[in-house]
Structure 1
Amino acid sequence: MTAGDGAGAAGVDPQELWLRPARPRRGRRPAFSREAITAAAVALADAEGLEAVTMRRVASEVGAGVMSLYSYAPDKETLVDLMVDHVSGEHPTTDPLTGDWRTDLKTIGHLQRALMLRHPWLPAALFARRTLGPNALAFLERALAALRPTRLDGTAKLEVFSLLTGFVANHVAYEVTRAAVADSPERSAAEARYLAAVAADGHHPELAAALATPPGPPRSPDAVFARLLGRLVDGLDSE
């Protein structure tokens, strides 16, 4: 990590970041903008991962001196906040809701997964995010509107959205990691034999019972996610 990539102790005032226009330092008018810097950082993270995003590397991508970037994003953590909000703008926020809060919440979960699969660095960035930008707030507003038919109070609605987002982020992180690990049929067969041997040793009766259930036909990643999302949302109590 290069100098300036770490966070300051207090971070950036959210009002300064989101409610006031970016103002570069005095001097010659720059040939780039906060939007260009953020877009370059997103493209870099999409191609090489979040670890590749440093102030120095992003400055190189936009053809700027690294010190000039600090007028727009004083540290990497602020830049990540900008990146998260930038891609959050890809979420649709004007499509009509159905009025069935479980259906609408599942739709939101699918939208989140699609966004995170397009930007595999996003789950890790969400966990490190310090503040919500306007695009993220617009999507949160939509989620809260979807939960309007429930009897949940405001705190509970926020908790449900946090629970949903955490589930999707963890699931996508698992999907991306598993996709990067090329399991051969031989490896999968070896793992199955190992678990069968463990289940048969008499010390793991619950595992043995679980493995005794026929697994059924293989399911696509989309189908697996839909099933797990359904279990999460359908199990929520609106009272």
Structure 2
Amino acid sequence: MTREDDSGTPGHDPQQLWLSPGQPRRGRKPAFSREAITTAAVALADAEGLDSVTMRRVAAQVGAGVMSLYSYAPDKDTLLELMIDHVSGELPASAALTGDWRTDLKTIAHLQRSNMLRHPWLPAALSTRRSLGPNTLAFLEHALAALRPTGLDGAAKLEIFAQLTAFVAGHVSHELTQAAAAGSPDRAAAEARYLATVAADGHHPELAEALSAPARPLTPEATFTRFLNRLIDGLGTDD
């Protein structure tokens, strides 16, 4: 997200941000809502990436002056918090749970992946998040309920959810990078030739053995599911 003003230290009061929704911080009430501002910012990020989201661009999208936006989002970091929670509202937080916590966690992870693929800027944005909005909290509550059968304490359950989210974000980031690289088949072919040459030089027997193994499905969905299964099936219920 491009910075327009680097003066001061961005920050917000979570209570002011989340518990007083839609209330401007100063000045008269604008003729638009915080929801409209956030929706416009998300649309820009979806279409052009986070760097396209400036207060000036968002103001133009909602037909407002730039300064009026600061009543609702005093800095771009706060706007990003609003954007993250806005798209978190797409995650179903009231879906029925099976009671099998591993199965339920896998479902949660697939939902997160789909959400991040719809909003490719989200994995990077999550690393800057400083507070949890109402939509995020609702999904967290759902995940903690899924983990109840483990018998783990609250701290451990929070750690597992954080680990799961970090895994999904990292995998989606890699997935998006690979998808972009797939547009260059010559590069992929050159990489394959290089690895085949290295594997045949006699100095990398482990790599040669790995490359000679039967190929597995390489679709993004299949790859994600394999990695996810290894992660969750390996989780125990001991601290």
TM-score of the aligned structures, taking structure 1 as reference length: 0.93
Displacement after TM superposition at 1:201 (Å): 2.3
CA distance in structure 2 between the partners assigned to 1:7 and 1:112 by the alignment: 34
Counterpart of 1:162 in structure 2 is 162
Q: Which consecutive residues of structure 1, in runs of 5 or more, have no partner in the other structure? A: none
| Aligned length, in residue pairs | 236
2:151 aligned counterpart, secondary structure:
coil
- Residue 2 of structure 1 contacts residue 56 of structure 1 at CA under 8 Å; is this kept in 2? no
* C-alpha distance in structure 2 between counterparts of 1:196 and 1:33, whole Å: 58
The answer for the alignment partner of 1:131 in structure 2 is 131
CA drift at 1:60: 1.1
Q: Write the mapping of 1:1-239 to structure 2, written as runs, cut at 5 A.
A: 1-4=2-5, 6=6, 8-9=8-9, 11-24=11-24, 25-27=26-28, 29-216=29-216, 218-239=217-238
- Superposed CA RMSD: 1.7
How far apart in 2 are the matches of 1:39 and 1:66?
16
Deviations 1:23-60 (A, max 9, x none): 22333x42111110000000111110111001111111
Would the aligned equivalents of 1:59 and 1:69 in 2 still touch at CA under 8 Å?
yes
Change over 3 Å in CA distance of 1:2–1:162 after alignment to 2: closer
Which one-letter code corresponds to 1:235 in the other structure? G
Q: Distance in 1 between matches of 2:173 and 2:114?
A: 12
Aligned-residue sequence identity (percent) comes to 70
CA contact (8 A) 1:2 1:55 kept: no
Unaligned 5+ segments in structure 2 are: none
The 1:94/1:32 distance shift into structure 2, 3 A limit, reads same
Stretches of 4+ moved more than 6 A in 1?
none
1:149 aligns to what SS in structure 2? helix
Q: Any idea what SS the aligned residue of 2:127 has? A: helix
Query: Mean alpha-carbon deviation: is it higher for 168-177 or for 188-197?
Result: 188-197
Please list the CA deviations of residues 132-157 of structure 1 after superposition, one character each: whole Å capped at 9, or x if unmatched. 10000000011000000003221111
Measured after TM superposition, the shift of residue 206 of structure 1 is 2.2
After the TM superposition, which of the residue ranges 185-194 and 223-232 deviates more from structure 2?
A: 185-194
Which stretch shifts more, 14-23 or 164-173? 14-23
